[in-house]
Amino acid sequence: MEVIKTDIEGVVIIEPRLFNDSRGYFFESYSKREFDEKVRPVDFVQDNESCSTRGVMRGLHFQRPPYTQSKLVRCVKGRVLDVAVDIRKGSPTYGRHVAVELSEENHRQFFVPRGFAHGFAVLSETAVFQYKCDNYYAPQADGGISIADDSLGIDWRIDPACAILSEKDTKHPLLADFDSPFDYDVDQYKQ
């Protein structure tokens, strides 16, 4: 696998090594040994999957401490724009984001560390989205930032005003009105 660093330390794009022949393709979608060596040691404990239609936007979600989660995400059918926003108080990249297109064609994966809000927009007719988490889901720890916050500068490729959102996702605060539960710790986010 190839690890592509982004403008925000700790947030990386992963491109698997594909083996193509007349039968189709094969790739190793996850190897703990290789991930721990090339990205950082993470103990993933839960896998999730969602299926959504064009125009659905999910996010920007996180779980509050002590239930924080890192996520390794990928789109196995269709196409999404996936986004991670730095919400670590004191971080030199606080409020900045990384966006990457994930699709069944490019097989890319995106690693979103703890201390980031995460979301995606569905760009294809349908999208099946999978992610690994390093902590279990804890509904009492749910948090979010508004996906429609213009101050974040995210080009979702979909007008958030026309997006299909859950009721919960329409109620998240803007970044300016948000008191982050995450503090920036340089050593915690090193690759």
pLDDT at 186: 57
**Is the predicted pLDDT of residue 189 greater than 70, yes or no?**
no
164: domain CATH number is 2.60.120.10
In the block, residue with structure tokens 């125009």? 55
Burial of 186 (0-12, 13-18, 19+ CB in 10 A): exposed
Picking from 137, 106, 145, 111, the residue whose alpha carbon sits closest to that of residue 123 is: 106
User: Please, what is the average pLDDT of the chain?
Assistant: 94
Write out the residue range of the structural domain in which residue 55 sits. 45-184
Looking at this protein, which amino acid is placed at residue 22? Answer: S
**Is the predicted pLDDT of residue 117 greater than 60, yes or no?**
yes
pLDDT at 75: 98
Q: Is residue 22 in a domain?
A: no
Q: How confident is residue 86, by pLDDT bands cut at 50, 70 and 90? A: very high
Q: Is residue 20 in a domain?
A: no
From the candidates 61, 97, 107, 118, which is the catalytic residue? 61
Average pLDDT of the segment spanning 165-188: 89
* Residue 183 structure tokens: 């503090």
pLDDT at 190: 46
Q: Is residue 13 in a domain?
A: no
* 10-58 confidence digits (pLDDT tens): 999 999 998 888 988 898 899 999 999 999 999 999 999 999 999 999 9
* Residue 79 structure tokens: 């196409």
From the candidates 97, 107, 118, 131, which is the catalytic residue? 131
Q: Is residue 115 in a domain?
A: yes
Instruction: Answer whether the bond into residue 66 is a cis peptide, omega within 30°.
Output: yes
Q: Is residue 69 in a domain?
A: yes
Q: How confident is residue 188, by pLDDT bands cut at 50, 70 and 90? A: low
Q: Is residue 74 in a domain?
A: yes
* 139-175 confidence digits (pLDDT tens): 999 999 999 999 999 999 998 888 999 999 999 999 9
pLDDT at 179: 92
Q: Is residue 67 in a domain?
A: yes
Report the 10 Å Cβ neighbour count for 129.
22
Residue 131 among the catalytic residues: yes
Burial of 57 (0-12, 13-18, 19+ CB in 10 A): buried
R_g of the chain, CA atoms, integer Å: 16
Residue 30 among the catalytic residues: no
Q: Is residue 29 in a domain?
A: no
Total domains present in the chain: 1
